[in-house]
Every structure is written in structure tokens, then in C-alpha cells.
């Protein structure tokens, strides 16, 4: 899979059914991070928050919650998630719990703020542009899951190449990873092929 394809497929097509199918087929696994977070691993908790931050914000916007209320609502969701982890029955995929908690809380706030007492969840989620944003966030979650399923070397390389805000040269990345500059091309190709396989197994590409 080329670099261009990898960057572009994030924004292509509808994802809701893929997101649900990955959960149903057991291909979604937050379990390792959750288990570490439960023994007070701060890095694991930070990774959970980082994984789901964009998703939560897209859900809050999809409910048309006023912008001024979104930071507190965002914090509420993750505080409740942290409190719920020890008693959560299925810790392998947090997405459904996060979606339900975020939307319900946003609806409660909107009812309180705007006195909307008769709107259902579905009636609130009517902004097509924000629905697309939610689906794009779900796509990013699936990409993160696929990357996390790779061997550690490939995880580090893929994240360095595609997920960092400031691009770096191959030489810098190779030095950081303890690789020779000459081996970067083959390593990159091998890791992209592994990622492509992981994405295909989840029906993303």
C-alpha cells in the first residue's frame, strides 16, 4: 500500500458497519491497555484517552452540544470511564460504552440547557456533516487498532512516518530506531504490507 493510499483511505466511505463488525467479530482489543490502566499504569491510561479523544469530540459535536459545554462534557466522559473500568464486564472494546455515555450525557445537557424534552437520540444526531465526522473518527480508531496489532518495530515506524505532527527524515527515524539508513526502505515496505493485511482483515480497505 502506497503512502498516498494510506493517507487517503482514512477519509473514504462510510464506516459505521465496519466499526460494528470489528467489535462483533472480536477484532477490537482495548484489553491490554485497560489491564495496564487498572494497575495504575499512567501511560496506558494516557493512551486510552489519546485513542478516543477525537471520537468523543466528534460525538459531542454531532449532538450539537454548545461549544462552551464541550470541554466539561469531554472531561466527564473520561472521568466516568476511569471510574467504570474496574466493574466493566467487557474491557476488550471501549468504543460502544464511550459512544453511549457521550451521547447520553450530551443529550442530558442539551435538554437541561434548551429544554428539549421530547427529542430522541436519533433525532438529535441529524447533522450530516457531523455524522461523517463521527464515521471518520471511527475509521481512525480502526487504523489505530490495526497499527497496535503490528510488531513493535512496525508500530514505531508507522507512527513515526504517518502520525507525528512534524515530519522527520528517514535518517532521523532510522537512528532513533537503531536501523541503518539503507535498511529503511525494506523495513518500511514490510511494515506497510503488514498494516495493509491488518486493515484488510478488518474490512477497512
pLDDT at 176 over 50: yes
**pLDDT digit string, tens, across residues 13-37:** 334 454 455 544 444 578 889 999 9
C-alpha dihedral sign at 146, 43, 49, 88? positive
For residue range 185-203, what is the model confidence (pLDDT) as tens digits?
889 889 989 988 888 876 6
Residue 139 has pLDDT above 60, yes or no: yes
pLDDT on residue 106: 87
Q: Which residue has the higher pLDDT, 12 or 56?
A: 56
What structural domains and CATH numbers belong to the chain? Answer: 15-148 (1.10.1740.10), 150-205 (1.10.10.10)
Amino acid at each position: 500500500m502506497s503512502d498516498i493510499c494510506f493517507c487517503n483511505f482514512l477519509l473514504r466511505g462510510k464506516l459505521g458497519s465496519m466499526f460494528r463488525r470489528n467489535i462483533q467479530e472480536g477484532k477490537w482489543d482495548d484489553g491490554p491497555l485497560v489491564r495496564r490502566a487498572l494497575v495504575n499504569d499512567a501511560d496506558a491510561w494516557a493512551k486510552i484517552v489519546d485513542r478516543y479523544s477525537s471520537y468523543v469530540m466528534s460525538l459531542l459535536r454531532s449532538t450539537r452540544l454548545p461549544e462552551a459545554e464541550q470541554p466539561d462534557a469531554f472531561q466527564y466522559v473520561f472521568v466516568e470511564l476511569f471510574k467504570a473500568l474496574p466493574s466493566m464486564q467487557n474491557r476488550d472494546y471501549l468504543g460502544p460504552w464511550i459512544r453511549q455515555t457521550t451521547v447520553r450525557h450530551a443529550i442530558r445537557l442539551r435538554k437541561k440547557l434548551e429544554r428539549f424534552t421530547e427529542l430522541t437520540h436519533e433525532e438529535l444526531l441529524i447533522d450530516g456533516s457531523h455524522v461523517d465526522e463521527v464515521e471518520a473518527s471511527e475509521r481512525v480508531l480502526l487504523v489505530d487498532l490495526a497499527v497496535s496489532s503490528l510488531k513493535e518495530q512496525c508500530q514505531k515506524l508507522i507512527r513515526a512516518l504517518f502520525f507525528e505532527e512534524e515530519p522527520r527524515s528517514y535518517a532521523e527515524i532510522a537512528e532513533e530506531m537503531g536501523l541503518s539508513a539503507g535498511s529503511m526502505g525494506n523495513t518500511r515496505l514490510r511494515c506497510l504490507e503488514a498494516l495493509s493485511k491488518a486493515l484488510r482483515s478488518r474490512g477497512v480497505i
